[in-house]
Amino acid sequence: MEIVAKLQKQFMEFISALYREGFLDDQFLQLQKLQDESNPDFVFEVVSLFFEDSEKLINNLAAALQQPVVDFKQVDSHVHQFKGSSSSIGAQRVKNACMAFKSFCEEKKIEGCMQCLQHVKHEYFLVKNKLETLLRLEQQILAAGGRIPDLS
Amino acid sequence: METFASSSISRRMGASSDEPHVLAVDDNLVDRKLVEKLLKRSSCKVTTAEDGLRALEYLGLASHQDGSTNSNCSKVNMIITDYCMPGMTGYELLKKIKESSIMKDVPVVIVSSENIPTRINQCMEEGAQVFMLKPLKHSDVERLRCQIMQ
């Protein structure tokens, strides 16, 4: 079917670009491999959890950095969580931004931390947008009766 | 590094079906979902816990529980725990498990996002089955399952 082929091509091009531009790494491929007939929404579920968790962490980080006396251990703990979940999802640029953030926490540099938070937020919303588009494309392919192309 | 005697494993295997029962401990929501899926994909039954205390409670080993509490000790064939957790670290959980006369032979796997040799040595010396880096892959979990089914 022409529609399915067109959508699949769009999907392949879009996801290849995400890998090429470093938004996603191999770990995302691992997630896709875990999706099967018994659990066809696995990627959607994990990504949704990631979105929920990340937005909570961003709020917690903003609050922690606004305290009159900043508790850098607490900030570091939130960043550690964020680094962990972004790594598990394969959101490479978010993970890297978190790693830089961790260094500033260790050095207790408030300015550096504030800048890092902005950077992490920026990368997070970028990848969120990309992932939402990707998942939408997947749904369109399935709705049109096609299968999601295997990237491996 | 195998730290369990084959006789205690076959006793556990006899009590359960073909599927090993794994207790997975991690404070991160995304990682818990991922490890659960990886284990189920490798035909394991999974129970998850969000911290060390809840893991100990599940096993009936928490300090506020006495030995007569109905516990899930005998059902669990392996424990996988994250190292970095608030309250009780994976290392502290490992120690508590190894101190228990009932659970000390159950393999405990420590996972961490950080590759720190002193941390790894500390866990291995305390009797961890293996130390693995996150994020875990399907091949990692398959290998683990083979080890515990021996």
Q: What is the pLDDT of residue B150?
A: 67
- For B62-118, write each residue's pLDDT tens digit: 888 876 566 777 789 999 999 999 999 999 999 999 999 999 999 999 999 999 999
Q: What percent of chain B has pLDDT over 90?
A: 71
Q: What is the edge-to-edge ordering of all strands in the sheet holding B45-49?
A: B45-49, B21-25, B78-82, B108-112, B130-133
Q: Taking a C-beta distance cutoff of 8 angstroms, is the pair A29, A152 a contact? A: yes
Comparing alpha-carbon positions, the chain B residue that sits nearest to A89 is B30
- Do B30 and A34 lie within an 8 Å CB cutoff? no
- For B30-56, write each residue's pLDDT tens digit: 999 999 999 999 999 999 999 999 999
Q: Where are the alpha helices (DSSP H) in B42-116?
A: 52-59, 90-99
- For A37-70, write each residue's pLDDT tens digit: 888 899 999 999 999 999 999 999 999 999 999 9
C-alpha distances out from residue B6 to A43, B76, B101, Å: 38, 15, 16
- Do B31 and A84 lie within an 8 Å CB cutoff? yes
pLDDT over 60 at B7, yes or no: no
- Do A27 and B135 lie within an 8 Å CB cutoff? yes
Q: What is the pLDDT of residue B65?
A: 82
| Chain B residues close to A83, C-beta within 8 Å | 113
State the DSSP string of B16-34. S-SSPEEEEE-S-HHHHHH
Q: Taking a C-beta distance cutoff of 8 angstroms, is the pair B25, B78 a contact? A: no
Q: What is the pLDDT of residue A40?
A: 87
| Chain A residues close to B41, C-beta within 8 Å | 34
Which residue numbers in chain A have pLDDT < 70? Answer: 1, 152
**Residue to substitute from A33, A88, A99, interface B, most B β-carbons within 10 A:** A88
Q: What is the pLDDT of residue B69?
A: 60
